[in-house]
């Protein structure tokens, strides 16, 4: 028997002159040649890769969340559960990415920070799309992307569409819960604010789980996503504090101060509030 298992695998394809390869399918030439350091410092490679990998995970989160929104709108809550569970698992990967970036020390980062100019993660359009599909809308954010009309159109479209929580609330209404019409017909370009009728409906779901199992499952999937999102925000804030302290961010934000402020925002407020009263 050969010491090399590969030689015993007679069915493995080795002739790819006319066949698609792994590299071809994943377009690895483009992917692995996208890390362009602007300095000669060794650790800039880490900085670039962490952010690129995070953008790929954000792309998947957006894809799955949009799919879940469509499934809920089609009255197929069960299909949405798998997508929302995948969002949560993906969020855990982004959170762990901060652990890798935290190996970058302040002295190492300062060796190439000036090369970033005014570029900042604050400008990530995919992060904004995640906020939009979750229902957090801030009008001044769109101004960042006006230089790119195609990208601006994508963001503006998402800005005016209902978010994940909006379609969840509509699912409550379809199931017979009394939801205020101004909530069901609200301007989706505005960030959602707590509503008594929504709070009452979710409370009834949690007090009678057996009769409202799918809505209960949906609610808990939303809580999972918000929980992981807040953990991501916290790890982001602590990683920034660890590396640059309280310096102003490269994009002009207050850095750690700004990141601490957004920790206080909830996407699905009634689902958290009811825990104090159930």
The answer to the question of whether 25 is labelled as a binding residue is no
Which helix (DSSP H) or strand (DSSP E) does residue 7 occupy? helix 5-8
Q: Are 162 and 188 in contact (CB under 8 A)?
A: yes
The tokens for 250 are: 């490269």
The answer to the question of whether 141 is labelled as a binding residue is no
The tokens for 6 are: 């590969």
**CB neighbour list of residue 14: distance below 8 Å, 6 or more residues apart:** none
The answer to the question of whether 48 is labelled as a binding residue is yes
Sign of torsion, CA 95 33 104 130? negative
Q: Are 132 and 158 in contact (CB under 8 A)?
A: yes
The answer to the question of whether 191 is labelled as a binding residue is no
Per-residue burial over 134-147, b if 16 or more Cβ lie within 10 Å, else e, is bbbbeeebbebbee
The answer to the question of whether 250 is labelled as a binding residue is yes
The answer to the question of whether 268 is labelled as a binding residue is no
The Cα–Cα gap between 224 and 64 comes to 15
The answer to the question of whether 109 is labelled as a binding residue is yes
The answer to the question of whether 47 is labelled as a binding residue is yes
The answer to the question of whether 50 is labelled as a binding residue is yes
Alpha-carbon distance values, 141 to 229, 250, 253 (Å): 19, 16, 12
Which segments are annotated as binding site for heme? 236
Which segments are annotated as binding site for substrate? 47-51, 109, 113, 250
Which segments are annotated as binding site? 47-51, 109, 113, 236, 250
């Amino acid at each position: 028997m050969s010491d090399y298992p590969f030689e015993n695998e007679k069915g493995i394809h080795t002739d790819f002159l006319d066949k698609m390869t792994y590299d071809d399918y994943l377009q690895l030439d483009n992917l692995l040649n996208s890390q362009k350091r602007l300095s000669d410092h060794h650790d800039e490679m880490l900085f670039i890769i962490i952010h690129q990998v995070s953008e790929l995970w954000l792309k998947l989160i957006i894809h799955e969340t949009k799919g879940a929104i469509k499934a809920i709108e089609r009255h197929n809550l069960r299909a949405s559960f798998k997508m929302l569970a995948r969002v949560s698992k993906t969020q855990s990967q982004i959170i762990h990415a901060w652990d890798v970036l935290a190996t970058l020390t302040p002295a190492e980062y300062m060796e190439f920070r000036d090369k970033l100019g005014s570029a900042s993660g604050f400008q990530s359009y995919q992060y904004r799309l995640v906020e939009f599909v979750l229902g957090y809308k801030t009008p001044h954010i769109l101004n960042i992307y006006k230089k790119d009309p195609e990208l601006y159109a994508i963001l503006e479209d998402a800005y005016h569409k209902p978010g994940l929580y909006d379609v969840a609330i509509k699912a409550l209404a379809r199931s017979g819960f009394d939801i205020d019409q101004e909530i069901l017909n609200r301007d989706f370009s505005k960030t959602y604010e707590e509503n008594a009728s929504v709070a009452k409906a979710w409370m009834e779901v949690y007090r009678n789980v057996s009769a409202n199992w799918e809505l209960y499952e949906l609610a808990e999937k939303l809580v999972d996503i918000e929980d992981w999102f807040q953990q991501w925000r916290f790890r982001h804030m602590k990683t920034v504090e660890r590396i640059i302290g309280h310096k102003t961010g490269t994009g002009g934000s207050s850095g750690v101060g700004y990141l601490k402020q957004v920790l206080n925002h909830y996407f699905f407020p009634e689902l958290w509030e009811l825990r104090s009263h159930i």
